[in-house]
Amino acid sequence: MMIALLTSAPMAAAQEPDSPGSSVAAVDSSTAASAVSRPAVKKKHVWPAPKGEIAVMGMIPDGDYRLFGATVRCHAWTVGVEYDRRVGHVLWARFDWVAEVIPLLILSQPKVANFWGGGMTPEQELVPGVSVTPIGMRFLYRDGKKIRPFFMGKLGAAAFTQKALSPNATYANFNIQASFGVQYALNDRYDLRVEPFQFFHISNGYLAPSNPGMDQIGWKLGFTYHLKNGRW
């Protein structure tokens, strides 16, 4: 019996339960393996929504129409600088105050015109001018996104080096604009801005006996620069 007990003792001692350390190591290794195999979640880029923007835009005419005006063969080309300042939110859109200065305004009109601006000869002449529109507003949707559509309206004045649209009209005129466009973010500071529809109106509001008025449909193209929030 003593010999049997001595023989079975080493076999009994060899049957030990798994140590706690080995089970923890196994769990840790499986967790690490699953973490390595899980793909990383890429964060969606959020584009800046600055308080102020400056845009440099150029306008090319598509044609003249008779909505409020009476002229024919009158077109305008412009290059202007626009400032947009965020005010708040209206109708699910960002609401901006807008002001624009157009230092380059070229008006093409008949060289010889009658009282109401109708061309008497086929010749055209170019009349330079400037425009300032301090009263404007913009509704910009999807603020902070890569593509942002907007609607805009502006009111101001335009002055030319000679009487515009008619020899019996005035040097100074009112300038009314309305447009629809889209801003496309190129990076965090610059946007490409396209306005496929631009309504451009010039008239003197009967400050003179002759008030032909010009209605134009055109399109605008330019770039927008985002000002830092600490700046104006």
Q: Which residues pair with 155 in a beta bridge?
A: 135, 176
Integer Cα distance of 30 and 45 in angstroms? 33
pLDDT by residue (tens digit) across 187-210? 989 999 999 999 999 999 999 989
Give the pLDDT confidence score for residue 202 in this predicted structure. 95
Q: What is the pTM of this model?
A: 0.77
pLDDT in single tens digits along all 232 residues of the chain: 444 444 444 444 444 444 444 444 444 555 554 555 566 666 666 666 778 999 999 999 997 777 777 788 899 999 999 999 999 999 899 999 999 999 999 999 999 998 888 889 999 999 999 999 999 999 999 988 999 999 999 999 999 999 999 999 999 999 999 999 999 999 989 999 999 999 999 999 999 989 999 999 999 999 999 998 645 5
Q: Which domains are present in the chain?
A: 62-226 (2.40.160.20)
Give the pLDDT confidence score for residue 157 in this predicted structure. 97
* Phi, then psi, of 197 in degrees rounded to 5: -125, 120
Contact 172/135 with Cβ under 8 angstroms? no
**Closest listed residue to residue 191, CA positions, set 83, 45, 46, 56:** 56
As given in the structure block, the two tokens for residue 56 are 């440099």
For the chain, state the CA radius of gyration: 35
Q: How far is CA 184 from CA 53, 178, 191, in A?
A: 14, 20, 5
Give the pLDDT confidence score for residue 12 in this predicted structure. 46
As given in the structure block, the two tokens for residue 148 are 């942002």
pLDDT by residue (tens digit) across 148-170? 999 999 999 999 999 999 999 99
Integer Cα distance of 98 and 93 in angstroms? 15
Give the pLDDT confidence score for residue 118 in this predicted structure. 84
Contact 121/23 with Cβ under 8 angstroms? no
